[in-house]
Structure 1
Amino acid sequence: MKKITLFAFIIASQFTFAQRNLTIEEATSGSYTTFAPENMVAPQWKDAKNLTYLDKTYQNLMSRNASNNWSESILISKSDLIDALNGSIKDEQFKLRIFPYDYQWKDSNTLVFNASGAESNYVITYDIPSKKVVSYFKMDGSGLNQVVSEKGDVMAWLKDNNIYITDVTGKVTQITNDAAGFLNGSDYTHRQEFGIDRGMWWNPTANQLAFYKKNETMVTDYPLVQFDTRIAEVKNTKYPMAGMKSEEVTLNVYDVNTGKTITIQTGEPKEQYLTQITWDPSGKYIYIGVLNRDQNHLKLNKYDASNGKFVSTLFEEKSTKWVEPQNPLTFLPNGKQFLYQSQKDGYNQLYLYDTNGKLIKKLGYNNVVVKDLLDFDTKGNSVSYIGVTNNGLDRQLFTVDLKSGKTTQVTTGSGFHNAKFNDDKTFFYDQFSNIETPNKIAIVDSKSKKETTLVDSKNPYQGVAELPTMEMVKIKAADGKTDLNGRIIYPANFDPNKKYPVMVYVYGGPHAQLVQNKWLGGASLFDYYMAQQGFVVFTLDNRGSDARDRDFVQVIHRNLGQNEMADQMKGVEFLKSKSFVDADKIGVYGWSYGGFMTTSLMLNYPETFKVGVAGGPVIDWKWYEIMYGERYMDTPQDNPEGYALTNTLNKVNNLEGRLLMIHGAQDPVVVQQHSMEFIEACIKAGKQVDYFLYPTHEHNVSGKDRIHLNAKIADYFKLHLQ
C-alpha cells in the first residue's frame, strides 16, 4: 500500500512540475502574479540606516537596519494602523485590505499615508513609536488629487472640478466655484503632456496655493456613446483636434491669509502651454515654462506671486522641430540655484542655473540620458540620477558633484538598475535585472562596495512553464548608420531546418521603448505565448522611440510613420535573411501608435505583411488631439503634405492581407472615428476588413477582458498566418 501511494505521488509530482506552455490567462497577467520574480514592494529609506518595504502578504511594513547587518523585522502592521485609525477617528470604520503601499516618510518616526473610510477619504499622519494617529486631513469620498503642504499643515483637494482646502483644525474652505467647462487644479491640463502630473502646488510656507484654471468651454464637444442604458446615452468629452481651437489655461495663486486669488500674467496668446511650474524656495516667486502652441519656443519666466506680475525671462530655448519640457525646476538646498533638464545639446541632461538665469555649469556626462533625477546629499554638494546607457538598453545610477561637475557612475553591471541612496549617501539600495537575472536586490556600502543581498530571485518559470529562447539583436537603421535594438523570440522546440511564420510586434512612437536589457528583454508574456504557438516573434525599436538622443527621436517630425516604417523594413530584411523564417507568412500587431504603424505597414508593404492586428489605431492625424499631434506634425494648415502622406485612408486600395481592427468604444485618446472612417473607406474600395469593438473600454482593454483580447489576437494569427 505504501509503495502504491509513493508511486502515485511520484507520478503526480512529475505531472505537476512538468514543463508546459503558458495558458492565455498566464500570458495576460502571469508576469505580475504567478510568474512574478521575487521582489520587495514599495522600498523606501526611512533614514540613513533603515530601509522599509512591504512584506509578501502586503500586511506588514518591514524594516532592515544597518546596525544588525540588515536583518529583517516587522516595523508596523496593517492591524496596528487599523486599530489606531478606528481609535482616533470617531464615527468612521476603516478596513484596509493591505498596508498602504503609497506610504511616505515625513521623518524617521512619522509615516504619512492615504486611507478610505466608509464615507470619506483621509490623509493620515502616524507616529511609529507610539502607534498613534498624530493628525489627519479629511475630504469627501468623491474628493481627488489631494496635495498636502510641505509642512503637513494644510491640504488642497478637488471635487467636481473645484478646489477645497482643509487645515489642521478640520476647517474646509472652497476656493473656486466654477461651472462646467472650467477645470481648477486638474492634472489633466494640457492632456497631461509636458510631464504634467498635478494641477496644484503649495508654496514652501503653505500660505499660497498655485493652481491651473482650464477654460475649455470653447473646445468642441466630442460624443462618446454609452451603451449600458435602455436608450443609449451620449457622454461628451472635450477633444481639441489638431489645427482646431484649443483650451485656454491660466495659472492662479490663492492666498490663504487674505482669501484672494490672483492670475499670473502670462500674457497672450491665450493658446499656449504653461509648464514646469516651480515655486521659488522663498515663496515670493513662481517660475513657469511658457511654451508656444507651435511647441518650438520655450521661455522660462519668473513672476511675482503676490501680484502675478512678470519679473523676467531667465532664458529661452528654441528648436526647428520641437521643445518638450518634461520636468519642473529642482532647487538646490541653498535655494539660490536650480537644476534644469533639457535635450537642447542632443541628450536629456542637467544644467545648473542661478535664479537670474545665468548658466553656471553644464552637468551632462558623455551621451548618458537623464531618466530619473533623484536626491541631493545632506550637504547639497551632489545629486544622483538614473541614466540611460548602452544605446538605450541599460539604466545605471550616477552621481554628479555640483561644484566640479565631475560625474561618477555608481552601478556597473549591464542591465536595469533601480537604485537610490540613503540620506547621507553611505549606502544605496539597488534593484537589478537583465535578460539573465530575474531580480536581484542588494544594499551596497558606497565606500567599500560590499553588498548585502536581500533578494536573489530564481527563474520563476523553472520547472513550471518552458519559455522559448529570446535573443537581443542589433540592426542598422534605414539611414545606414544608426544602431537599432531588436529582440527575437524563437518558437518553442525551435528547429532551424523548419520554416516558421512571424509576428512583428510594433509600437514605434515617442515615449515608448519595447526592447530593454531587463528580465524577459522587456517583452510581455503574450509575446512568449505566441512563440509557444509556433511563431517567430520579433520587435524592433525604430528611430522615433524613447530613451535615445534628441535626433534619434526627432527624425519623425512632420512625417509620422515614414522613417519608422523604413526602419521596420530593415528589421524585415533581417528576418528574411534567416533560413527558418517563412517570408510568405509575416504578420504585424500593435496598439495605439503601434496600431497606426500596423495599418501603415499593411498598406505600404502589402507584399510583405499578410496579416495585421491594429488596436486603437490613429488613421488620420488631423483627428488626433492638439498637444501631442501638433508637436510632431504641426497643424494640418501648416503641413498639408505631411498629413496627406501619413493618412492611411489614402492607401486603402493597397490592402491585400487580412486586417483585424480593434477599438474601445469609449476611447477618449484615439476616438473611434478613426477606425470607423477606415472601415467606411474599405467598404467603398471593396476591401474586406475585420473589426471588433469593446463597448465599455477606453483606449486600452484592461482587467479580465484583456484575456479575451489576447485570445482574439492569437486566434487571428493562428487562423490566417499558420
Structure 2
Amino acid sequence: MRKIIISAFALFFHLVSFSQNFTIEETVTGSRKYAPENLLFSQWKKNENAIVYVSKDFQSLLERNDSDNWKEHTLASTSELSKNLQAAIPNETFELRFFPYNFNWETKEVISFDVDGKSNKYFVHYNLKNKKVIHSVATPLTANEPAVSKNSDVAWLEDNNIKITRQDGSSISVTNDSNKGIVNGSSYVHRQEFGIHKGMWWNENGTKLAYYRKDETMVGDYPIINWNEREAVNNNIKYPMAGMKSEEVTLQVFDLKTQNTVQIQTGEPKEQYLTMVSWHPNGKSIFIGVLNREQNHLRFNQYNAQTGALIKTLFEEKSLTWVEPQHTIIFVPNDPEQFIYQTDNNGYNQMYLYSISGKLIKDLGFKDVIVQEFLGFSSDNKSVYYTGITNQGLDRQLFNVVLKSGKTTQLTSDSGTHLAAVSSDGKYILDTFSNTETPNKIEILNTKTKKETVLVNAQNPFTGKIDLPKTELVTLTSADGKTPLNGRILYPANFDPTRKYPVMIYVYGGSHAQLIKNKWLAGAAFFDYYMAQQGYVVFSLDNRGSEARGKHFCDVNHRQLGINEMADQLKGVEFLKSKTFVDSDRIGVFGWSFGGFMTTSLLTTYPELFKTGVAGGPVIDWKYYEVMYGERYMDTPQENPEGYEKASLLNKATNLKARLLVIHGAQDPVVVQQNSMNFIEACIKAGKQVDYFLYPNHEHNVRGTDRIHMYAKIADYFNTFLK
C-alpha cells in the first residue's frame, strides 16, 4: 500500500513539474520558446518543383524536391558560404552567424542577398550549384534603404541624400542637399501611410531611378528629449499635426547615363500624397496615384519619365469618406498593355484588370473575399494566385482567378489560416496551415492529382509543459444590430463555472489591426494567456473599424472616432455580464495606441462599467495626432470641430472613477507624449487620481527585456486593483 501511495505521489509530482503556467518572462519570449514545428522561410525554388527553407539552427539552406519524393537535402551551409565569400573577397572579414534567409532568386541556380562584412555591406550574387560568388557590390555599413537594380547597381541613403554604387565599384552622388529638411529617397514619406514601404524605384532595365523628395522645412520642429546624455538632448522631429502645415513631396527621376534629374509634374496643391509608384515595363513612363490632402479623391496618372510631363489620367476614385490606396499596380508579364489594380472602393479590397488606356477590362473580384496578398501569375500568365480573407475575416484561403473570364477557384478548403505558395509551373501548392485546433501543418498539394504529401504535422508545443487555458471564438452583433462581430474569450485556468471571475478586456479597435483570427492561439498574445492563467477571464472583440472586414465596416467611424467602436465594445460587455461566471463589478480594460485611446475612452465615457484600466501610448485628443492618419478618419479640426470635441478625452477626465494606469514611451514619435501629459494635467485639475509610468528610452512600443518589466507592471496593476 505504501508503494502505491509513493507511486501516485511521484506521478502527481511529475505532472506538476512538467505542466505549469507561463512565467512573466515567457509573455515576451514564449512565442519563440513554444513555437510549433515549422519550415523556416520556406519558398519555391525558381522554375523548379522544389522548396527551400532554412534549418532550425539557421546554419543551412535545405531543399526538398518532387524528383526525390520530397526528401530533405542540404543545399548550402553557412560555413560553406562564409568560406566562399572570403575567397571571393579576400580583403574582407565575414563572420556569418546564420544563413541569409532574405535572399531572392535570380535564376534557378543563383540567389542574391546582402551580407555585412567587417568593413562594408555587400550585395552578392551567389551560384548555389557551383558554390561560387558571381559578383558583389560593396557599400558602407551605414548605407540605408538599399535598392538594387537589374544591373546590380545599388542606390542607398547617406543621411538625407542618395548615392549609387555601380557594379564596377564607382560611385555617383544623386543628391547633395545640405538642408536636413530636404529628405531624398526615404521610405519615411507621408509617415508610411498609403502602402508606402520604400522611397526609391529602379526601372526594369536599371537605367533610371525614381525617388521621393520630401521637403519638410515648412513643418514645425517637435521636441523629443533624449535623457541618456549627461545633459539631456533635444532631438527634433517633424510631426505635422492634424489641420497644420504638412510636408511637400515630389517624385524625381534620375537618369543614370546623363546623370540629369527630372521632376515629375504632379502639380498643385503641394500638400498632396503621392503613392502607388510603378514603372511601365519599357521604362519610359511612370504611374503615380495622386491623392488630395482631404483623402477623398484619387487620380491615377501616367507621366513621361524623360520630361516629367503628365501623359494622362487613367481613372479617378472618389469617396464621401476616404480613398486609401495601398498597392502598386502589377503588369501582366509579356503584356505591357495590361495591369492589375487593387482597390476597396466597391466595399472589399479586390483586383481589377485594366488597360494602360485606363479602360476596365475585367472585374476579378469574387463574392466578398478580400484580397490579402497577391502571390503571382500562373506559368502561362493567364491567371493569378492570391490569398483571400473569408469567413467574416477569420480565415485565409488560396484562390486562383482567370484573367480573361474572371473565373475564380478556391484551392484550399479547411477552415483556418492558409499561408500558401504555388510552384512556378502551377503543379504544386506549398500550404502552411493552422487553426485554433491545429498548431501547424505543412503539406505539398498536387493541383492535378489532388495528392497530399505532409511535410510537417506539428504537435501541440505546450503539451506536458504548459496548462493552456481554454479558448473560444464567439460571434456577437454590432450595436446597430446589423453586423456580426468576432470575439475571443480565454477562460481562467482550472475554470470553475460556479465561481465569479474578474475580466480583462484587451482592446485595439482601430484600423489595420485584427485581434481575432482562426489560427493557432486564435490571434491571442502570450500575455493574454498569462492573465487567464492568473485567474482572469480575458476577452477581445474586433469592433467596427477593425481590419479584414471591408471598407464599409470602417466607414461608419468617419469623423467620429471612438463612438461606434465603444458602442460595439459595450455589446461585448453585455455578453460578458450575461455569463454567470463573470463578476460584473470587476471588469478592466487594457489597450495600446488606438487601444489606449479606446481604454481611456471607455473608462471616462462609461465610468460605472469598469473598475480598472491600463492605457499604453494613448491618443487623447486627435488634434495632437499626425496629418495623414488623423485626417483620413476625422478630417481637420477646422472642418470637424464637433467630431474632435466629442472624441477628445481631456474634458472627460472629470468622469474618471476607475483606477487607471497610463504608460508612455518617453521618446514616442508616433503618439507623442503630449497626449498623455495633457490628460494627466486634466486629471489633476479635475481632482482625479491617475497613475502614470514612463519608459525613458522607448518609442511607441516598449521592446526588449524592458517589455517583461512592462507586462509585470500591468499584471501587478490588475492584481492590485481588480483581482
What TM bracket, shorter-length normalisation? over 0.9
User: Any idea what SS the aligned residue of 1:603 has?
Assistant: helix
Verify: 1:208 aligned to 2:194, yes or no: no
- 1:20 counterpart residue number: 20
> Does the CA contact (< 8 Å) of 2:151 and 2:205 recur in 1?
no
- Counterpart CA distance in 2 for 1:686 and 1:429 is 60
Distance across 2 between alignment mates of 1:98 and 1:11: 42
Query: d(CA) in 2 for partners of 1:90 and 1:507?
Result: 52
Distance 1:576 1:595 in 2: 23
Q: Using the TM superposition, give the Cα deviation of residue 105 of structure 1 relative to its aligned residue in structure 2, in angstroms.
A: 1.2
Cα offset for 1:8? 14
Shift of 1:665: 0.3
2:34 is matched with which residue? 35
Q: 1:621 touches 1:643 (CA, 8 Å); kept in 2?
A: yes
For 1:408, give the aligned amino acid.
T
Residue equivalent to 2:433:
432
1:15 Cα deviation (Å)?
A: 6.0
Aligned equivalents of 1:17 and 1:425: distance in 2?
49
Partner of 1:45: 44
Contact 1:224–1:234 under 8 Å retained in 2: yes
How far the C-alpha of 1:122 sits from its partner, in A, is 1.2
CA distance in 1, matches of 2:453, 2:183: 49
SS at match of 1:341: strand
Between the aligned residues of both structures, percent identity stands at 59
Match in the other structure for 2:172: 173
Tell me how far apart the structure 2 counterparts of residues 205 and 34 of structure 1 sit (CA, whole Å).
45
| Letter of the 1:665 counterpart | A
**Structure 1 residues 262-301: aligned runs within 5 Å:** 262-301=262-301
Matching of residue 144 in structure 1 with residue 176 in structure 2: no
Counterpart CA distance in 1 for 2:141 and 2:330 is: 33
- Taking a change above 3 Å as real, the CA distance of residues 526 and 61 of structure 1, as seen in their structure-2 partners, is same
User: What is the rounded CA distance, in whole Å, between the counterparts of 1:152 and 1:523 in structure 2?
Assistant: 45
| Aligned twin of 1:348 | 349
- Equivalent-residue separation in structure 2 for 1:708 and 1:656 (angstroms): 26
Q: Quote the offset at 1:7 in angstroms.
A: 8.8
- The answer to whether residue 155 in structure 2 is matched with residue 160 in structure 1 is no
The separation in 1 between residues aligned to 2:73 and 2:558, in whole angstroms, is: 54
Q: Aligned partner of 2:34: which letter?
A: F
CA drift at 1:91: 1.8
Partners of 1:398 and 1:411 within 8 A in 2: yes
Q: For residues 189-210 of structure 1, what are the alpha-carbon distances to aligned partners after superposition, in whole Å with 9 as ceiling and x for unaligned?
A: 1111001010000001111000
Over residues 174-228 of structure 1, what are the superposed CA-to-partner deviations in whole Å (9 max), with x where a residue is unaligned?
1101121111110001111001010000001111000000001111111011111
The code of the aligned residue for 1:176 comes to T
Question: Secondary structure, in 3 states, of the residue corresponding to 1:650?
Answer: coil
CA offsets 1:317-340 (integer angstroms, 9 cap, x no match): 000000000000010011210000
Q: Quick one: distance in 1 between partners of 2:427 and 2:598?
A: 47
What does 1:395-434 align with in structure 2 at a 5 Å threshold?
A: 395-434=396-435
Aligned to 2:699: 698
Per-residue deviation at 1:14? 1.6
**Distance (Å, rounded) in 1 between the aligned partners of 2:10 and 2:172:** 69
Q: Distance in 1 between matches of 2:156 and 2:291?
A: 27
Normalising by structure 2, we get a TM-score of 0.98
Post-superposition shift, 1:90?
2.8
Query: What is the root-mean-square deviation of aligned Cα atoms in Å?
Result: 1.4
Letter in 2 for 1:101: Y
| Aligned twin of 2:717 | 716
The equivalences for 1:32-431 within 5 A come to: 33-47=32-46, 48-149=48-149, 151-179=150-178, 180-333=180-333, 334-431=335-432
CA deviation string 1:680-704 (max 9, x = no partner): 1111111000000000000000111
Q: 1:213, 1:249 within 8 Å by CA — same for their partners in 2?
A: yes
Match of 2:538 in 1: 537
CA deviation string 1:550-574 (max 9, x = no partner): 1101111100010000000000000
Superposed CA offset, 1:108-153 (max 9, x none): 100111100112111111011221111111111110111111x243
User: 1:701 is aligned with what amino acid?
Assistant: V
Distance 2:375 2:411 in 1: 13
Q: Is 1:707 equivalent to 2:708 in the alignment?
A: yes
Q: Is the 8 A contact 2:651 2:682 kept in 1?
A: no
> Matched residue of 2:650: which SS?
helix
Q: TM-score, normalised by structure 1?
A: 0.98
Name the CA distance, whole Å, in 1 between partners of 2:560 and 2:58: 48
For 1:448, the equivalent position in structure 2 comes to 449
Offset at residue 448 of structure 1 (A)? 1.3
* CA distance in structure 1 between the aligned counterparts of 2:7 and 2:107, rounded to whole angstroms: 59
AA aligned to 1:662 is: I
Q: Which runs of 5+ in 1 are unaligned?
A: none
Q: Distance in 2 between matches of 1:660 and 1:293?
A: 36
Tell me, in whole angstroms, the C-alpha distance in 2 between the residues paired with 1:297 and 1:481: 29
Deviations 1:287-325 (A, max 9, x none): 000000000000000000001000100000000000000
| Counterpart-to-counterpart distance in 2, 1:17 and 1:587 | 32
C-alpha distance 12-108 of structure 1, shift in aligned 2 (>3 A): farther
Q: Distance in 2 between matches of 1:9 and 1:71?
A: 45
Code of the aligned partner of 2:51: L
Q: State the secondary structure of the residue aligned to 2:652.
A: helix
Within 5 Å, give how 1:401-550 maps onto structure 2. 401-550=402-551
Q: Alpha-carbon deviation of 1:13?
A: 8.4
SS in 1 for 2:669: coil
Is the Cα–Cα contact under 8 Å of residues 663 and 694 in structure 1 kept in the other structure? Answer: yes
Q: Is the 8 A contact 2:185 2:211 kept in 1?
A: yes
CA distance in 2 between partners of 1:201 and 1:259 (Å):
16
Residue-by-residue CA offset, 1:364-389 (whole Å, 9 max, x unaligned): 00000000011001221000000000
The one-letter code of the counterpart of 1:206 is: G
Q: Aligned partners of 2:225 and 2:42: how far apart in 1?
A: 43
Deviation at 1:16, TM superposition (A): 7.6
- Distance in 2, matches of 1:208 and 1:395, equals 38
Secondary structure, aligned partner of 2:651: helix
Give the letter for the 2:556 counterpart: V
Deviations 1:157-182 (A, max 9, x none): 11112111112111111110112111
User: Is the 2:242–2:627 contact (alpha carbons within 8 Å) kept by the matching residues of 1?
Assistant: yes
What CA distance in whole angstroms lies between the structure 2 residues aligned with 1:277 and 1:686? 52
The answer to whether the Cα contact below 8 Å between 1:17 and 1:463 also exists between their aligned partners in 2 is no
Deviation digits for residues 240-268 of structure 1, max 9, x if unmatched?
A: 00000000000000000101000000000
Query: Bigger shift: 113-122 or 614-623?
Result: 113-122
Aligned to 1:606: 607
Q: Secondary structure, in 3 states, of the residue corresponding to 1:609?
A: coil
Moved more, 168-177 or 499-508: 168-177
Superposition deviation, residue 80 in structure 1: 1.1
Provide the C-alpha distance between the structure 2 equivalents of 1:321 and 1:201, rounded to a whole number of angstroms: 31
* Pair 1:595 & 2:606 matched: no
The one-letter code sitting in structure 2 at the alignment partner of 1:641 is E
Q: CA shift at 1:19, angstroms?
A: 1.3
**What is the match of residue 666 of structure 2?**
665
Is 1:619 matched up with 2:615? no
Work out whether residues 46 and 107 of structure 1, in 8 Å CA contact, stay in contact via their aligned partners in 2.
no
Asked whether the 8 Å contact 1:325–1:342 carries over to 2, the reply is yes
Q: Judging changes above 3 Å, is the alpha-carbon distance between structure 1 residues 95 and 197 closer, same or farther for their aligned structure 2 residues?
A: same
1:494 aligned counterpart, secondary structure: coil
1:556 alignment partner AA: N
Which residue identity lines up with residue 584 of structure 2 in the other structure? A
Cα distance change on mapping 1:447 and 1:14 into 2, 3 Å = same
